[in-house]
Amino acid sequence: MTRRRGQDGSIERSGRWMVVRFWIDVPGQDERRHACERICPKSGPGLLSKSEQRRRAKEIIAASGCDTEEHFRKVVLKQKVVTFSEQADWWLDWLQTRNNKPIPETSVPTIRSAIEKWLNPYVGNLPLSEVGNGALKAIVKKMVGKLSPKSQRTYIGYAKQIRKSLIDDEGEPIYPITWNNDFIDLPPVVKREQRREKLSAEEIEKLIASEEQKWVHAVFVLCAASGMRIAEILAIDIGTCLPPDCSMILVKQQVKASKVVEYLKTDAAHRIVDLCPEAAEYLREFVRDRKGLLFPSRKRTTPVSYKNFLKRYLTPSMKKLGVKELGKAAHAFRRFRSSILAKSGVEEDIRKFWLGHENNDVTAQYAEQIREDNSWRQTLAAKVGLGFQIPAFVPKPIVRNVRKNRQASEVAVVS
């Protein structure tokens, strides 16, 4: 259904009268009906000229209100009240099916979880038209102390988009609104505080040395040596992402949930990351003659879950290290590598290339030259080096319970 506006009507003869016919919405009906109003007698006293008839017809149509937005809202939209939760379901489906940059299927659970946990419990049953500044302000109060400022802004942004997504046939919002962020009282996101987390070389070495599982030891080494995102490292395929000498990593996929997906965070994330000789030698020793995923799960055919890795390995290791309020701990490796590159005098263009950051200053032609010049990049990577020493891996001791007698037992530690 669309708003009705701009009708001129149709002037006709009907019996002894000149009349105007036009469309008008009727409460409780999807289809409009024809309305007919008298303009003047078709002859004799009171007859109007053709121009006067057209002017009078417009006055009659305007007086009916059939073309106004108020009439459209009052008559048409109230036929069915759309709730926030109903529109949220439609919006989430539309995000996946739209022609312009549809979101991947793996992103849906995260957005749906945010809606179901933080939006629907408070405004889900409200008519969409009532989800305004006041409703969002009440939600923000519930979020304080439980979500980061960035998450609060993201989830409130979902609510705004959901309300805006109900549109008419002309693509205009049915419930337009002026959002007042000062009234909603969203907290600011201080980027300076977000970026303070960075590990030192000494902390990197302690973190790696403390790890008792070989594969986790290798993930930490690659994170610090390459600056790649952990989701990208967990998706490395030995056959397609690594050359035989392991001197570079072709970044073309990442782990999302427990799946390998072929899209990356940005277009710039599709890149080649060159490793220094020390890191390449470590990686060759780790790979040996294996095939498939570099870091497979127990099923061997699927990757290690990104969230599980953070929860079970990285975060506990960070806590043991004594790093407090680290926030996004995974990014600490990238910041460490970025600082090593900067201190070594590596130009910004190549730093952005290796880290997968967008570079609006470099031309596409120059970026392609960087990608194709493997020899130059390898020489530069060797010059920069690791920036830290790779601690030797110490296997986790095997602990077995040995029953000595019925009354007591002792623990034998086998190295």
User: What is the tens place of the pLDDT at every residue in 86-141?
Assistant: 999 999 999 999 998 888 887 888 899 999 999 999 999 999 999 999 999 999 99
State the CATH number of the domain containing residue 335.
Answer: 1.10.443.10
What pLDDT score was predicted for residue 405? 45
Q: Which residues of the chain are under the pLDDT cut of 70?
A: 1-6, 26-31, 67-80, 191-198, 323-329, 359-368, 396-415
Last residue of a domain, one of 189, 221, 240: 189
Query: Do residues 213 and 355 share a domain?
Result: yes
Last residue of a domain, one of 78, 100, 123: 78
Q: How far is CA 220 from the centre of its chain?
A: 25
Integer Cα distance of 222 and 275 in angstroms = 9
Question: Does some domain include residue 393?
Answer: no
Question: Does some domain include residue 390?
Answer: no
| Beta carbons of 47 and 98 less than 8 angstroms apart | no
Query: Do residues 65 and 85 share a domain?
Result: no
Query: Do residues 36 and 165 share a domain?
Result: no
Q: What is the 3-state secondary structure (H, E, C) of the chain?
A: CCCCCCCCCEEEEECCEEEEEEEECCCCCCCCEEEEEEEEECCCCCCCCHHHHHHHHHHHHHHHCCCCHHHHHHHHHHHCCCEHHHHHHHHHHHHHHCCCCCCCHHHHHHHHHHHHHHHHHHHCCCEHHHCCHHHHHHHHHHHCCCCCHHHHHHHHHHHHHHHHCCECCCCCECCCCCCCHHHHCCCCCCHHHHCCCCCCHHHHHHHHHHCCCHHHHHHHHHHHHHCCCHHHHCCCEHHHHCCCCCCEEEECCEEECCEEECCCCCHHHCEEEECCHHHHHHHHHHHCCCCCECCECCCCCCECCHHHHHHHHHHHHHHHHCCCCCCCCHHHHHHHHHHHHHHCCCCHHHHHHHHCCCCCCCCHHHHHHHHHCHHHHHHHHHHHCCCCCCCCCCCCCEEEEEECCCCCEEEEEEC
**First vs last C-alpha separation in the chain:** 75
Question: Does some domain include residue 406?
Answer: no
User: Residue 182 contacts by C-beta under 8 Å, 6 or more apart in sequence?
Assistant: none
What pLDDT score was predicted for residue 338? 92
Question: Does some domain include residue 349?
Answer: yes
Task: Sort strands 271-274 and 398-403 into parallel, antiparallel or unpaired.
Answer: unpaired
Query: Do residues 54 and 180 share a domain?
Result: no
Last residue of a domain, one of 38, 58, 78: 78
Question: Does some domain include residue 391?
Answer: no
Question: Does some domain include residue 409?
Answer: no
CB burial string 223-256: b at 16+ within 10 A, e below: bbbbbbbbbbbbbbbbeebbeeebbbbebbbbbb
Query: Do residues 379 and 257 share a domain?
Result: yes
Taking the model in full, what pTM does it have?
0.63
State the CATH number of the domain containing residue 163.
Answer: 1.10.150.130
Integer Cα distance of 102 and 93 in angstroms = 10
Question: Does some domain include residue 39?
Answer: yes
Query: Do residues 253 and 371 share a domain?
Result: yes
- List C-alpha distances in Å: 412 to 28, 162, 276, 402: 81, 61, 41, 7
> Which two three-digit tokens encode residue 79?
């036929």
Query: Do residues 28 and 136 share a domain?
Result: no
Query: Do residues 40 and 28 share a domain?
Result: yes
State the total domains in the chain: 3
Query: Do residues 166 and 229 share a domain?
Result: no
Question: Does some domain include residue 411?
Answer: no
Query: Do residues 251 and 374 share a domain?
Result: yes
Query: Do residues 356 and 209 share a domain?
Result: yes
Domain that holds residue 163: 81-189
Query: Do residues 280 and 373 share a domain?
Result: yes
